[in-house]
Chain A
Amino acid sequence: MARPSFFGLLLIAPALAMIGGLFLYPLGFSLVAAFTEPDGDLSVMHFQKAYELYSTDILFTIFIVVVSTLLTGLFSIAIAGILTLSETPWLVGALRNLYRWPLFIPFIVAAQCMRTFLAKNGLMNNSFVALGLMEPLQTTSFLDWRGIIITFVWKQVPFVTLMLAGAMASVDRATIEAGRNLGASRVRVLIELVLPQVAQTLLVGLVLSFVTMLSVLSVPMMVAGSQPTMLTVDMAFRINSYGDYATANALGVISYAIAGTVAWIYLRHNIKREVQA
């Protein structure tokens, strides 16, 4: 395949131009705003201010996103595993028709759903009380960090499961049946035979989910109260209330660092795979 790479670059140029103008340029803008003083000197004073005001929110954001990603991974593996390995046809059929419903539901709609569902007097608590699982006085509102995590997981599990179930379906069935014939349980077949073959897809799905959750503004604004909250809300607040671009951009750079760590994990995995191949 000795085709000239010049033609390829020509084809990809418009897309690159778009990324350049609408992403890289504003990104540079944000870095400049975060790292310079009003008189133009380099400094980290905005980071000091951001850290003093929002260190709790930084930890809160990392906690929410990491826990949500892990839970999303677990649930997706469980559902995709059942879809691939279960021997109960009606269960597979029902699950396949059920799990995808939240797939394309917008975050803002999910947030509005959860805002009512998880409230102290929401349908969840009301159902528990009606079933006799809970006394009316025991009900608590889930509209805090738990609400954010529940909303994120509810929204992202179908996406990762769809990718994962697709990848698992193209795994060679012979290896699965060989494992089962040798007496391995289905859980063991899932973990030791199937998962390693679809790890790449799982990682892509989780990386996409992680960064998506890190960027969502509507869910923390609508589901949880004001303190503590996620960095996205803090940034919008600095802009809308104070026009304070410097601190907002410093917070932005901190969230770039969080996302960058995940991208680095993905890249390292990819390089390791290419070296092995």
Chain B
Amino acid sequence: MSGETPLLPARAEPMALTDPASGVRRRSVYSDAGARFRSMGSAGLKILGLAVFAFLLFGPLANLALWSVAERWYTPFKLPVSYGMRYWEVVFRPTGDAMASLATSVSIACLTVLVALAVSVPAGYALARLKLPWRTALMILFLLPQAFPSVAIYINVARVFYSIGLTGTITGVVLVHAAHGLVYSVWIAAAAFAAIDRDLELAARNIGASPLRTFFTVTLPLAAPGIMASAIFVFLESLDEFTGTFFVGVPQVTTLPLLLYNASMGGNYQIASITALILLVPSVLFMIVIERFLKADVLSKVGQ
């Protein structure tokens, strides 16, 4: 992101009138005050706008946090009737479902990243650098799992998996998550490779590096931040994934989103909110670091 570039002054100061007549002078002071008033008003508007924006952004999250520490909260009361950490103990009890679900979710997400990167780094390189027939069509092909309403696909994946014994297994869920994440990993990897200056590779080739060595010592390190970003996207997509697991994973594989869903539909808002907060931790962490990995030059090439 570029910093603020000083442009023209937003509001030119009222021109100082040199007319010595006092009436004119007073008018100038008056319009000076008017400008200050307007500028204060505009700052006030900006603060108000920002406050409304922040409320809409964080209000839902605040409500979630309140529910996680509310032991009793019913209708006429605006805030919880009594607070406490009782439900946190229930969730974090080592024998509890939540810890098992967390472990399941994280291991599925890691495996999904491995599978997705293994196929999308070569594919991204090919799409960015090599001559491929129907390149646009191939790009669109990777968008399709996201572009097609996934529920309709997953019910049929579940049917196919059932016939080969993959429903309710970690492998089945990882495959579904990886296919779903491919659009992010392939598109972002392709954009990352496309953003690399080709001359650097040519220079390496000129001084005698083999194509493979050029790729591993020049191209891949330069593309690493973009590929890292795509890995983050895939990891979060997997952690976040509900629909595919809902059809393919049940009843044996219970990830955190499924636990959250069951708790929420069962009316247990405390357990649901605490599970949601656990899911928020990686999301917020990645949100904070994402710009370090996804540079503007890569972003502007996504989807091209």
Contacts and interface: CB of A to CB of B under 8 A. Distances in A.
Contacts of B126: 7-9, 11-12
Q: How large is the interface on A (under 10, 10 to 19, 20 to 34, 35 or more residues)?
A: 35 or more
B87 interface: no
Contact of A201 (B2, B46, B300): B300
Interface stretch (A35-43, A51-59, A66-74, A97-105): A97-105
B78 A218 contact: no
Interface in A108-158: 108-110, 112-118, 121-124, 126-127, 129-130, 154
A79 to B, nearest CB: 9
Contacts of B143: 207-208, 211, 263
Contacts of A107: 240, 242
Nearest to A157: B57
Contacts of B186: 15
A191 interface: no
Contact of B63 (A9, A88, A113, A263): A113
Contacts of A177: 5, 7
A27 B133 CA distance: 24
B152 A251 contact: yes
A218 B145 contact: no
B300 A166 contact: yes
B290 interface: yes
B50 A170 contact: no
Contact of A113 (B152, B157, B276, B303): B276
A65 to B, nearest CB: 10
Contacts of A122: 63
A229 interface: no
B119 A18 contact: yes
B178 to A, nearest CB: 7
A60 B131 CA distance: 43
B156 interface: yes
A149 to B, nearest CB: 13
Contacts, number: 306
Interface in B242-289: 242-243, 246-247, 257, 260-261, 264-265, 269, 272-273, 276, 279-280, 282-284, 286-287
B179 to A, nearest CB: 4
B203 interface: no
A45 interface: no
Given A11-B125, A124-B59, A169-B2, A25 B155 contact: no
B119 A248 contact: no
A2 B131 CA distance: 8
Contacts of B242: 106-108, 217-218
B56 interface: yes
A212 interface: yes
B216 to A, nearest CB: 14
Interface of A: 1-3, 5, 7-9, 11-12, 14-16, 18-19, 22-23, 25-27, 29-30, 33, 83, 86-89, 91-92, 94-96, 98-110, 112-118, 121-124, 126-127, 129-130, 154, 162-163, 165-167, 169-170, 173, 176-177, 180-181, 200-201, 204, 207-208, 211-212, 214-218, 221-222, 231-232, 235-236, 239, 245, 248-249, 251-253, 255-256, 258-259, 262-263, 267, 270-271
12 contacts: A14-B123, A29-B160, A86-B4, A87-B7, A89-B4, A101-B61, A116-B63, A200-B304, A211-B147, A221-B265, A256-B149, A267-B140
